[in-house]
Structure 1
Amino acid sequence: MTSPDHPRLLLVEDDAVSAAFLGEALRALPAQVVLAGDGAAALRALDAAAFDLWLVDAHLPDGDGIAALSAMRARRPGVVALAHTAARERSVAEALIAAGFAEVLVKPLSADALQAAVRRHLPGATGAGVPLWDDARAERALGGARHVSALRGLFHAELPGVRAEVEAAVRTGDGERLRGLLHRLRASCGFVGAARLEHAVAALHAAPDDPSALRTFLDAVEETLAAFTPVPDHG
């Protein structure tokens, strides 16, 4: 990190009201915040300084967030990026995650939610404070504890094989295969409420060449497998 106490963040946002709110919430972390109004301004900011994390609007005056991220990664590979968008369609979020964003934040969002997301993804964040299982989220997604328990059983059975595939993709340098595996695994984590593993998957997706991200991922897999228990059926 550029500063342990005051990380340096790049906020790419063209709307003045959104930029003012997001900027103030980020400075309250506390953090140093540099604002760029479009993709071209973001590239100029990257040429001038290093950043710990990027927050990129999905729709910009000179293109979309996916194109902006690609150009930014060409300048500064390996930096974690979060997308923010007013679009609520699942297909939009899936496309942004597939393009390399670690998380998609849907606007409007609270200052607390924004700050929590940034803290999760700053360099050095391990996810240790994230619970292994989020039962409430899984039950909302699947419509009840019975469905969650059934899907978690399948998830638990398949996870060792997925772990082996991820390790093989990292070992052979097959980035496309790795991104596909992590994209599918992150979706599965969301359905079954595997919160800590989902965090680790997002971090590895953002920094696939970082050995510490791989280690964190493998540790989260082991913790998730060891702590697997069916969800109590309350109904």
Structure 2
Amino acid sequence: MTPACPNPAELPLPSAHGKTRVLVADDDDTTRQFLGEALRGMGYEVTTCTDGRAAASLAAAEFFDALILDCRMPHAGAISVITVLRADTAARSCRSVAIATSADIPDELKIELHSAGFAAVLEKPCQLAELQRVLIDTLGTRAAVAVLDDREALAATGDPNTMRALRSLLHEELLQLDDELDTLSISPGDFAERLHRLRSACGFCGATRLGAQARALHIGLVASASVPDADSVDTFRADLRATIDALRFPV
């Protein structure tokens, strides 16, 4: 039997601060510098390299939450790198989120990239907002994001009474979802539809972290039309239960 890829949740974090780790591989100095500085400014821990061989080696030896790979690099492009990693069950980043970058991305290449396992494609030069959006869409949200954001909820609902009423409804919905999660996770279509509705409810109630995780998981389900991996479901379940607890015992 082929051994399973390591569970990222069980791997030691190289950073003492537990930051989300991103590997950037690009042979263009300007692009590499922009992505590195932008990601560090967002709070990510970044490692950079200049070619596909180095990217594959680093991703095999270390765990990265996300890999941002240029489509055309010396020694190996993005698709070659991710194909090698996905096939290597001993690689520590064998199941990490993969994002491709290129200055020219025709529709045929987009299809090929998604088929190879890339969660998103960034066209160069990209804007800072686009980079941030792609990372949130694919990685979800980091633990620093609040489980409940009262200001966001009040802005959406207009007054505290409405906010409390909607949060009470959300609490009941999440309890039901927690009971049904194992069944939903093996039915991609039903799960995607449920997550689509949940994203709206989380927005109204200021359930920031769960909303971001629901968005990332929903995008992945729609893109792949396949059963989500166990790690993604476990991450979603953890934020689901954290939100249930926060709604049950509001501060």
Say yes or no: does 1:161 pair with 2:176: yes
CA distance in 2, matches of 1:24, 1:169: 42
CA distance in 1, matches of 2:241, 2:151: 22
SS in 2 for 1:49: helix
**Is there any run of 5+ residues in structure 1 with no aligned partner, and where?**
11-19, 38-43, 85-107
1:108-187 mapped onto 2 (5 Å cutoff):
111=128, 114-115=131-132, 118=135, 121-122=138-139, 127-170=142-185, 173-187=186-200
CA distance in 2, matches of 1:159, 1:81: 28
SS in 2 for 1:148: helix
Task: Please give the TM-score of this superposition, normalised by the length of structure 1.
Answer: 0.57
From the superposition, tell whether residues 176 and 5 of structure 1 become closer, same or farther in structure 2 (CA, over 3 Å): closer
CA distance in 2, matches of 1:183, 1:164: 18
Residues 135 and 231, structure 1, Cα contact 8 Å, conserved in 2: no
CA distance in 2, matches of 1:150, 1:139: 12
Say yes or no: does 1:226 pair with 2:245: yes
Paired residue for 1:210, among 226, 229, 235?
229
CA distance in 1, matches of 2:200, 2:32: 29
| Deviation at residue 199 of structure 1 after TM alignment | 2.9
Say yes or no: does 1:48 pair with 2:63: no
CA distance in 1, matches of 2:177, 2:143: 22
Number of residue equivalences = 183
CA distance in 2, matches of 1:56, 1:198: 26
| Deviation at residue 194 of structure 1 after TM alignment | 0.6
Task: Please give the TM-score of this superposition, normalised by the length of structure 2.
Answer: 0.54
Q: What do you get for the CA RMSD once the two structures are aligned?
A: 4.4
Residues 197 and 221, structure 1, Cα contact 8 Å, conserved in 2: yes
**Structure number, greater radius of gyration:** 2
Identity, in percent, stands at: 24
Residues 79 and 113, structure 2, Cα contact 8 Å, conserved in 1: no
The one-letter code matched in structure 1 to 2:80 is A
Q: Which residue of 1 aligns with 2:110?
A: 68
CA distance in 1, matches of 2:152, 2:121: 21
SS in 2 for 1:132: coil
**Is there any run of 5+ residues in structure 2 with no aligned partner, and where?**
1-7, 9-13, 15-19, 40-45, 49-67, 83-95, 222-226
Deviation string 1:63-118 (CA, Å, 9 cap, x unpaired) is 8xxx936x533222xx443789xxxxxxxxxxxxxxxxxxxxxxx97x48845863
| Deviation at residue 146 of structure 1 after TM alignment | 2.7
CA distance in 2, matches of 1:23, 1:143: 43
